[in-house]
Structure 1
C-alpha cells in the first residue's frame, strides 16, 4: 500500500513477498500479505484532518479547515450561542456566550479521550464510535457513580474492541490510559453486569498474529503456535487458563523448536502476562507436546529437547 503525506510516498510491502499486493483488513485496521498472512502495516485508517479551500483559485495554498460535524451523541447536537448585552459606558455592546450543559461537557471530554486512545492503539473509527456510544449509555444510566470517567472510558474502549472482533489486552488498554489494569477490569465487570452488554468470547487466535508479528517470529512459528493453542484447548489441557496465557505458552513452545527462540520474558512483555503465568500453562501442555504440533512442521531443534518449563 502506498501512503502519502504532503507529497511524500512510502511503499509498504511484505519482506518475504515484495511483489504481492497487500490486502486491507478494514475491520482490524491492518495490511496483510495474502501469501503468508504477515501483518505488514497496522494502520490503514486516515486519521488526518479534513481540509478544504474555499478559494476560487485551485492552486491556492491557504487551506481552511471544515468545522466539526454535529455529534448526534450530544443532547444539543452542537454548542449553542446566546447573545448577552454588556451594560454600561463606552464598552456597552454585545458579546457571545457559548453554553453547554455539564453532562455534554463530560461526554465531549470522554469522546475526545476515546478517540485519542483508539488513535494510539491504531484502531478503526468504528471502534471509537462504539466506545463513545457505550460511554454515553453508562453515563446516562448513572450506575457507575463513584468511578472515575477515565476508568469508564478505558473499559468502554476494551469492550468496543471485543465487540468488533479485534480484542486488545488489558495491558494494551492500560498502556494508553491513566488507569491500572485492576481498575479497568473492575469497571469492565460492572458495565457488563449493570448494562447487559454482550462481549464476544476471546479465543487464542484473536491475539496470535499480532503477538507473533511484534515478536518478529517467522510465519512457520505462528502457524505452529496457532495449531498448538487450538489443540491444547480441544484436548482440555489448559482448563481455566485465559486465551492470552494459552497463546503465549503456545508461542513459547513453538519458538523453542525453531531457529528464532523467544524467552518467556520476551513473550510476556508483548502479551501482557507474567512469566509465571506462561510457565504454568506451558507445563500443562508440555506432556502432550508431541501431538500438539502440526504434522508438516519442520523442527530446527528436536522436540525432545524442549525445556521442561
Structure 2
C-alpha cells in the first residue's frame, strides 16, 4: 500500500479503493480492511492522537505518566533496567552496571532528596505489607513531605517517620492500629508512637476519632467462620447505641468485639469469646468485661 494518507469520512469508510477488488476500505483502530473481500491492507497503525482524555482541542497533547507525590521527583525521572535483561558481552554488561549506578546517584541533588526518597520507599513498602489502598499511600507520602518541609525529621528516624505517616493516613481513611504498622515497620512501636505524636501536633493533622461501628466489619472479616449479614448489621446497631450512651466510654475495639459477641448470642451462633477476641486482637478478659458492661447498659 502507498504511503498516502487515507481520506476517511466520519463513518470510518475510506474513499480509497481496494487494490484487489476495488471495494471500499474500512479503517478501524486496529486495521484497514476491504468491506467486500476482507483483504487486510494495513494493520497495527500508530495512533498520533492524545494519550490523555481532554475535551479541549487546544490542550490535547501526548504526554508521559502522570506526576505522583509518592516519588521524591514526582515520578519525572527515568529508570534504567538491570544488565541481566540485556543481551551482550560481559564488557557491555559491566559498562551498563556502571551507568546504572551513576544514573541512580545523579537522581538526588542533595541529601535532603535522598532522605525523602528513602522515606517514600518505606511508605510504599508499609502500605503494600498492610494491604492498604493507593489513597492511603498518596496521603502518607504527602504528609511525609510536609514533615520534611517543616524540618521535623531531626531526632526521628526515617523508618519511624514513615510508620507514623502511614498510621496517620490510615486513621483518616480506614481503621488501623499502630501495633499492625509496627509489626511490619523497621522500628519499634514506642518510637513510632513518639514520632506520630510529634508530627500530629506540629502538622495539626485532623485525625478522626475511631468509633466502635468502624471496627465491627473488620472484626467480622477476621473471624474463622462466615457471619450472616443480619448478625453484622445487628452488631453495628448495638455498637452505635453504645457509642451514643454516655455511660459507656472506652476502647472502641473492645466495645465492637462485645457487640459482635452479643449479636452472635442473639442469633444463636457458635462464636466463642476466644474466636472473637482473637479476631479483635484483645484478651478474653477484656472482651468479657465489655460484654458485661454492654449487657448491663441494655438491661437498664
TM-score (normalised: structure 2): 0.61
Matched, 1:145 2:154: yes
Q: Which has the higher strand share?
A: 1
Match of 1:40 in 2: none
Match of 1:184 in 2: 192
Match of 1:104 in 2: 113
Matched, 1:214 2:222: yes
Cα distance, 1:129 vs. partner? 0.6
Q: Mapping of 1:108-257 within 5 angstroms?
A: 108-164=117-173, 166-215=174-223, 216-239=226-249, 241-257=250-266
Cα distance, 1:157 vs. partner? 0.9
What is the aligned-residue RMSD (CA, Å)?
Answer: 3.1
Distance 1:80 1:217, change over 3 A: closer
Report which stretch shifted further, 202-211 or 128-137.
202-211
Q: Quick one: distance in 1 between partners of 2:140 and 2:258?
A: 31
Q: Quick one: distance in 1 between partners of 2:162 and 2:119?
A: 6
Q: Quick one: distance in 2 between partners of 1:211 and 1:251?
A: 8
Q: Quick one: distance in 2 between partners of 1:167 and 1:133?
A: 19
Match of 2:269 in 1: 260
Gaps of 5+ in 1: 1-55, 59-66, 82-94, 292-309
Cα distance, 1:209 vs. partner? 1.3
Count of matched residue positions in the alignment of Structure 1 and Structure 2:
214
Cα distance, 1:288 vs. partner? 3.0
Q: Which has the higher helix share?
A: 2
Gaps of 5+ in 2: 1-41, 45-63, 80-97
Distance 1:68 1:114, change over 3 A: farther
Q: Quick one: distance in 2 between partners of 1:188 and 1:222?
A: 32
Q: Is contact 1:237-1:284 (8 Å) kept?
A: no
Match of 1:74 in 2: 72
Q: Quick one: distance in 1 between partners of 2:121 and 2:243?
A: 39
Residue 260 of structure 1 aligns to a residue whose secondary structure is: coil
Q: Is contact 1:169-1:272 (8 Å) kept?
A: no
Cα distance, 1:198 vs. partner? 0.9
Q: Quick one: distance in 2 between partners of 1:260 and 1:180?
A: 39
Query: Which structure has the bigger radius of gyration?
Result: 2
Report Cα offsets for 1:34-66 as digits up to 9, x if no partner: xxxxxxxxxxxxxxxxxxxxxx996xxxxxxxx
Distance 1:274 1:189, change over 3 A: farther
Distance 1:176 1:226, change over 3 A: same
